[in-house]
């Protein structure tokens, strides 16, 4: 019951940002996808009129990638600030933890809401857009399953930035010293994961980032330095 109460509290506080991310990604993503559909109709007419084969273009939903990445990163950053930096700034950690609540329960509630927020606001709309684009006959160029998992990898990178921001927010060092290490490490993982490399490599980097930053969040919460 205590865990559910904490989840409701965290979810209520992050809900406006989740809704904003959902509206931005779904709205602009739908516009981009609609533009691709209209462009596809023009390609079909050109092929029929000139009786020639038009070379493959990039993936029909490749234009959504930058929007997906920016939305996931932005939501992860804002949720981490709301859940970890704001309580440290306005000194409300004591109010949150004054009841007989285990620190590990508070951490689990925050992480659960963060994962839920990224999934509902970005992950599920991305899945819907991919399934729409993957309908047979929708586009002449194939929509490969690899693109779907690359999109979810970007959602995972949003969680990486969330954890990095949480580490920097919980650390009591000065901003010009080791306090920025969490954000710097998360930024490095994101940069390397998005670099041109075979697909398993970004997945491995993301997993390493999740483990390292996750351990740091647990350690800082247990230290009670905040």
pLDDT digits (tens, 9 = 90+) for 101-130: 777 888 888 999 999 999 999 999 999 999
Q: Is pLDDT above 60 for 177?
A: yes
pTM to 2 decimal places: 0.86
Instruction: Tell me what pLDDT residue 14 has.
Output: 93
Q: How confident is the model at residue 156 (pLDDT cuts 50, 70, 90)?
A: very high
Instruction: Tell me what pLDDT residue 92 has.
Output: 54
**How many Cα atoms occupy the beta-carbon half-sphere of 181 within 13 Å?**
12
Instruction: Tell me what pLDDT residue 44 has.
Output: 58
Span of 38-47, 49-58, 113-122, 150-159 with lowest mean pLDDT: 49-58
């Amino acid at each position: 019951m205590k865990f559910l109460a904490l989840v409701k509290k965290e979810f209520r506080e992050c809900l406006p940002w989740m809704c904003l991310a959902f509206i931005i990604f779904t709205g602009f993503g739908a516009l981009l996808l609609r533009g691709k559909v209209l462009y596809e109709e023009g390609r079909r007419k050109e092929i029929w009129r000139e009786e020639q084969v038009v070379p493959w273009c990039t993936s029909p939903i490749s234009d959504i990638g930058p929007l997906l990445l920016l939305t996931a990163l932005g939501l992860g950053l804002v949720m981490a600030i709301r859940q970890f930096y704001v309580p440290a700034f306005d000194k409300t950690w004591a109010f949150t933890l004054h009841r007989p609540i285990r620190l590990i329960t508070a951490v689990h509630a925050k992480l659960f809401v963060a994962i839920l927020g990224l999934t509902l606001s970005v992950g599920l709309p991305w899945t819907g857009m991919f399934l729409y684009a993957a309908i047979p006959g929708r586009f002449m160029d194939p929509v490969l399953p690899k693109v779907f998992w690359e999109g979810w990898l970007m959602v995972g990178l949003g969680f990486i930035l969330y954890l990095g921001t949480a580490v920097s927010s919980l650390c009591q060092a000065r901003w010009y010293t080791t306090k920025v290490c969490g954000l710097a490490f998360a930024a490095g993982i994101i940069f390397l994961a998005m670099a041109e490399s075979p697909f398993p490599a970004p997945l491995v980097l993301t997993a390493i980032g999740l483990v390292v930053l996750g351990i740091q969040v647990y350690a800082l919460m247990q230290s009670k330095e905040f």
